[in-house]
Copies of this chain bind each other. A is one copy, B any other.
Amino acid sequence: MKPINVGLLGLGTVGGGTLTVLRRNAGEITRRAGREIKVTMAAVRDLEKARKLAGPELEITTDPMAVVNNTDIDIVVELIGGTSLAKDLVLKAIANGKHVVTANKALLAMHGNEIFQAAQAKGVMVAFEAAVAGGIPIIKALREGLTANRIEWIAGIINGTTNFILTEMRDKGLAFDAVLQQAQELGYAEADPTFDIEGVDAAHKLTIMAAIGFGIPMQFDKAYTEGISKLTKEDIAYAEQLGYRIKLLGITKRTEQGIELRVHPTLIPAKRLIANVEGVMNAVLVKGDAVGATMYYGRGAGAEPTASSVVADLVDVTRMLTSDPENRVPHLAFQPDALSDVPVLAIDEVRTSYYLRLRVFDKPGVLADVTRILADLGISIDAMIQKEPAEGEEQADVILLTHITVEKFINQAIAKIEALSSISGKVTRIRLEELSSN
């Protein structure tokens, strides 16, 4: 089957990320989509820079209309941002019968009604998972995962720049201006950060989520928008004393009077999971009448997280163009003839860290024996607690955390430790996982 040909408008952060992800994971993506997805053309501002990034197999142009008008292209990915040229390009792509994938929240919040109407009339898809909360598949959750529910409200941390600033202000007791400068140096805030810090970017995303959640047209002009630039570290500290964190939330709520649509700094109880979403991370909390509250958490920006959503949309469109409707999404995500026979490991071969608790008789040399046994098996110790024996007892607990090892080695070590005369009874062994996102 011939590949799906993709034309990129823009080869900056997200465009570059999209190219990288499509190339690195080409095998898995094809196994999932049922067909190769290939970027064949890109419109850029700087030809030379783009050539270096894209390599020779890609047609590069400075004329975005040339991509939109190229009859070989099946899907146009709009990543140039803004609301004027981007709008013309998207509408022209639709008119040309091409499917569109876009990450452009401003465009959709302001012109989505017109764009969707055009797409509907022409019978093409306009997919926009990347427009809200970067790599988090929140559009799919709202549009498909929660369709049973009357949505009551949506509340989201949907701007990483401001969440980073608020996290730093709280952690370090710093003022807004100082943290903003730091965020700019780290690349988490733009040179002109207005759209982020004044809540405009969040309001674009919130407008889109409200439309999907409540089945209303896009109404960005009705959104209330208040940013974080006037927040003081004193208010953050007082909120903390009262048991609250301050987050920039986008909130949309159905009430008897109408729909609330508002972005502003908000005190939320510190014990809520979403209050503990820190740094540049995003999270969206959705309250449905049947499911209750569900939350979706992940990276809301950045090259590859955003590309993750762009490519997911490309796979969605490709599946629609490739398979019969009832086989559009394979049961196990991968095409049935493309499953892998990679083996499932026996538990003995698993690699992880361990918590060990030993009951030891309080006599000299026992820890030396234990640590020797572990060292001989190549197991290193990350942390240890040694308790005093309780009153009237001769034994005490020793707790060890190990670094990563193979389970069979820890089992050998435990057998040897249990055989020591200074050890009482069985060793308690519980596995430990760091679950680091790096």
Spell out A's residues near B (CB within 8 Å): 17, 21-22, 24-25, 28-29, 31-33, 99, 112, 116-117, 119-120, 123-126, 129, 135-137, 140-150, 155, 210-217, 219, 222-224, 231-232, 234-235, 238-239, 241-242, 244, 246, 249, 251, 254-255, 257-262, 264-269, 272-274, 276-277, 285, 287-299, 304-305, 307-312, 315-316, 320, 324-334, 336, 338-347, 349-351, 355, 357, 383, 385, 397, 399, 401, 428, 430-435, 437
The complex is assembled from copies of this chain, and their number is 2
Assess A355 versus B267: contact at CB under 8 Å? Given A277-B273, A349-B257, A350-B262.
yes
Given the interface contacts A21-B148, A312-B145, A401-B242, does A332 sit within 8 Å of B116 by beta carbon? yes
Task: Say yes or no: B435 contacts A268, CB within 8 Å.
Answer: yes
Report how far A25 CA is from B146 CA in the complex, Å.
12
How far is B342's CA from A21's CA once the two chains are assembled, in angstroms? 41
- Decide: B276 and A431 in contact? CB cutoff 8 A: no
Do residues B332 and A328 form an inter-chain contact, with CB atoms below 8 A? Answer: no
Q: Is the CB of B291 within 8 A of A305?
A: yes
A148's nearest neighbour on chain B, judged by CB, is B311
User: Is there contact, CB below 8 Å, between A325 and B325?
Assistant: yes
Bound-state CA distance A333–B132 (Å) is 15
With both beta carbons as reference points, the residue of chain B lying nearest to A207 in the complex is identified as B344
Closest beta carbon of chain B to A243's beta carbon, Å = 9
Known A135-B294, A144-B137; contact A276-B274, beta-carbon cutoff 8 A: no
Query: B430 contacts A235, CB within 8 Å?
Result: yes
Give the shortest distance, in Å, between A228 (CB) and chain B (any CB).
Answer: 10
Q: Which residue of chain B has its CB nearest to the CB of A350? A: B260
List of B residues within 8 angstroms of A112 by Cβ: 331
Assess whether A33 is in contact with B267, with CB atoms less than 8 Å apart: no
CA distance A235 to B399 in the complex (A): 9
